[in-house]
Amino acid sequence: MTKTSTSILSALVVLGFAAVPVAAEEAKAPTLEQLEATANKYEMEVAVLKSHEALERLQAIYGYYIDKGLWDQAAALFAKDGTYEFGQRGVYVGPAHIKKALALFGPEHLEPGQLNNYMMLQPIIDVAPDNKTAKARWRSDVLLEKNGEGRWGGGVYENTYVNDHGTWKFQSLHYYVTQESDYDQGWGKKPFPMEGPSKEFPPDRPPTVVYKSLPGVYFPPYHYNNPVTDKPVHYGPDRAEKPEPKK
């Protein structure tokens, strides 16, 4: 038993026996086993609530590191076998490769005049009942500047996380690009296509799904059901493209 559950158990013992009416002969105090089970249940509920906060902090910290080009710090937030996938650039595995993938956006600490803001917004976090894994969806509004060229951007994260001996880490981070466009002309007049896999530092695996950003439309599936109907949400036809067969 942990210190937390022991404290909960002590409180339950006092409350359990105090709740037994003295005059009611048939009434029985809860057994120690029942109280232990209740204490463990409450302890897990508290742990899951704390994990929600820890995951919000993890994602926000990642965003701040990316904003300032702290690739080494950002890559350290991933599990040993964690994966990173941005748009159509492919999948990178492990912190060392993830750091190199992030460096494709520019040097460590960014260049003079470079802006790289990825805001982490609108979280939907679901922690597994055993508090060992979690999933979350986030929206990101993006402001970029490099070599005198400003860009707008936006997209959605569908991430998974792992609780590594009490420390939450990214198991997989997948950023689906909705749009990236010219700052002056906007997404209506000048959207940019996504970049493909790097030739300078190729990914460990190809993209998990092939799709196009604006003016194309792609719906990254929700990891969660509708909270009222408890049914999955389907968004019309699947607009993902089939990967071309290898020749």
Considering the chain, what percentage of its residues have pLDDT values greater than 70?
85
Confidence of residue 58 (pLDDT cuts 50, 70, 90): very high
pLDDT given for residue 90 in this prediction? 98
219 belongs to a structural domain: no
d(CA 182, CA 191): 6
- Sheet with 133-146, side-by-side order of all strands: 91-93, 78-86, 167-182, 149-164, 133-146, 115-127
Domain that holds residue 185: 69-189
Q: Kindly state whether residue 217 falls inside one of the protein's structural domains.
A: no
Whether 116 is covered by a domain: the verdict is yes
Q: What is the pLDDT of residues 148-168, one digit of tens each?
A: 999 999 999 999 999 999 999
* Mean pLDDT score, 19-47: 73
pLDDT in the model for residue 1: 55
Q: Is the pLDDT of residue 18 over 80?
A: no
The pLDDT of residue 241:
57
**Is residue 178 in some structural domain?**
yes
Does 24 reside within a domain? no
More confident residue, 90 or 45: 90
Cβ(146)–Cβ(111) below 8 Å = yes
Mean pLDDT of 170-193: 97
- Whether the per-residue pLDDT at 107 is higher than 60: the answer is yes
- Count of structural domains within the chain: 1
* 88 inside domain: yes
Which stretches within 19-119 are classed as H helix? 32-67, 71-75, 95-103
Considering the domain boundaries, does residue 137 fall inside one?
Answer: yes
Provide the pLDDT for residue 32: 82
Residues 1, 189: Cα–Cα separation, whole Å: 62
How would residue 7 be classed by pLDDT, with cut points 50, 70 and 90? low
Residue 234: pLDDT band with limits 50, 70, 90? confident
224 assigned to some structural domain: no
Indicate which CATH number applies to the domain containing 168: 3.10.450.50
- Reported as a single tens digit per residue, the pLDDT across 190-233 is 999 999 999 999 999 999 999 999 999 999 999 999 999 999 99
Query: Is the per-residue pLDDT at 8 higher than 80?
Result: no
Mean predicted confidence (pLDDT) in 33-38: 80
